[in-house]
């Protein structure tokens, strides 16, 4: 009895196997070449290894790396490293496998090559090395989605990233010279703006001084001049030294101290 039980268990192990589906992947049982409609996202799948197998596919974001030579509008070739980010939709994995098989990445690559050639041919080579790059990436992605939907449903394209773009040597040198000339022009414009501001500052300063002189001149009336003369006579009157003053009664003119005059006369003698 025990021997028969052991034999049954052994037969069961031979004709039954178990596949573990981990987070971030799905499993589909394929029996005699036919895919099951049930997609397992996590857990275990029991199957008969003699007639069945379990196909596992990742649903995480995947990255396809390519190095391509892209055509430009003027007929040049631009080398670039490309990243294509995509992921499989869990509930549509069976559709992808039925239409494209497990080598679906080669289909994504082919779709990209076609879309990239069509889109890049509308742009100049310099555009791929400037702020137009994001627009080019977006147009390639949109065209890929349209073309890929014709092949199969269930592949979500996330982004197309163009990296390490290498322009033809002559074009790269020409762009560098142009950028240098633009920098020089911007620097000269800045210097001219500074000189212009300085000139305006000097003009404003000169106008201020002129207006101040006009105000002072207009303020010097005869009455004020007489008042200033009286104040000057008062200050001279307080002085302990004797002064020689020549005046017309309006403004004093101080010649000097009498003592200083005496000393000068003595020296001359």
Round the CA-based radius of gyration of the chain to a whole number and report it: 48
According to the model, what pLDDT value does residue 258 have? 46
Distance CA 222, CA 54 (A): 116
Looking at residue 169, its pLDDT comes to 61
Position 247 scores a pLDDT of 60
Q: What is the pLDDT of residue 111?
A: 92
> For the segment 180-207, what is each residue's pLDDT rounded down to a tens digit?
676 767 888 888 888 888 888 888 888 8
Q: What is the pLDDT of residue 261?
A: 44
Domain layout of the chain by residue ranges: 2-58, 62-167, 172-219, 226-268
Cβ-in-10-Å burial (0-12, 13-18, 19+) of 85 comes to middle
pTM value?
A: 0.56
Distance between CA 178 and CA 164 in Å, rounded? 21
Regions of the chain where pLDDT drops below 50: 1, 9, 11, 14-15, 172, 252-269
Copy the structure tokens of residue 193: 């703006």
Token look-up 């052991």 returns 6
Question: Which CATH number is 62-167's, of 3.30.1360.40, 3.40.50.2000, 3.30.70.1450, 3.30.479.30?
Answer: 3.30.479.30
Please state, in angstroms and rounded to a whole number, the distance separating the CA atoms of residues 253 and 257.
12
The set of long-range contacts for 164-167, using a CB threshold of 8 Å and a minimum separation of 24, is 164/80, 164/81, 165/78, 165/79, 165/80, 165/128, 165/129, 165/133, 166/78, 166/79, 166/80, 167/76, 167/78, 167/125, 167/126, 167/128, 167/129
Buried b (16+ CB within 10 A) or exposed e, 163-195: eebebeeebeeeeeeeeeeeeeeeeeeeeeeee
Question: How large is the angle between the packed helices 133-151 and 104-120, nearest 10 degrees?
Answer: 130
- At 158 the three-state DSSP class reads strand
Give the largest CA-CA distance in the chain. Answer: 162
Residues with Cβ < 8 Å from 89, sequence gap 6 or more? 59, 154, 155, 156
């Amino acid at each position: 009895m025990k021997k028969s039980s052991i034999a049954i268990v052994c037969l069961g192990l031979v004709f039954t196997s178990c596949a573990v589906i981990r987070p971030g992947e799905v499993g589909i049982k394929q029996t005699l070449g036919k895919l099951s409609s049930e997609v397992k996202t996590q857990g275990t799948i029991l199957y008969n290894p003699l007639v069945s197998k379990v196909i596992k596919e990742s649903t995480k974001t995947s990255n396809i790396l390519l190095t391509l030579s892209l055509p430009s509008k003027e007929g040049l070739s631009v080398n670039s490293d490309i990243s294509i980010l995509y992921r499989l939709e869990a509930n549509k994995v069976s559709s992808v496998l039925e239409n494209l098989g497990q080598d679906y990445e080669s289909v994504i690559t082919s779709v990209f090559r076609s879309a990239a050639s069509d889109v890049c041919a509308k742009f100049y080579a310099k555009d791929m090395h400037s702020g137009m790059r994001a627009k080019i990436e977006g147009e390639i992605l949109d065209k890929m989605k349209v073309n890929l939907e014709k092949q199969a449903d269930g592949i979500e394209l996330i982004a197309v990233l163009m990296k390490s773009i290498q322009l033809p040597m002559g074009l790269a040198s020409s762009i560098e010279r142009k950028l240098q000339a633009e920098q020089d022009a911007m620097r000269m414009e800045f210097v001219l703006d500074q000189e212009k501001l300085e000139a305006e500052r000097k003009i404003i300063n000169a106008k201020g001084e002129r207006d101040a002189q006009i105000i002072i001149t207009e303020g010097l009336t005869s009455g004020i001049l007489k008042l200033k003369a009286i104040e000057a006579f008062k200050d001279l009157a307080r002085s302990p030294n004797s002064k020689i003053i020549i005046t017309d009664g309006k403004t004093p003119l101080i010649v000097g101290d009498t003592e200083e005059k005496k000393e000068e006369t003595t020296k001359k003698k």
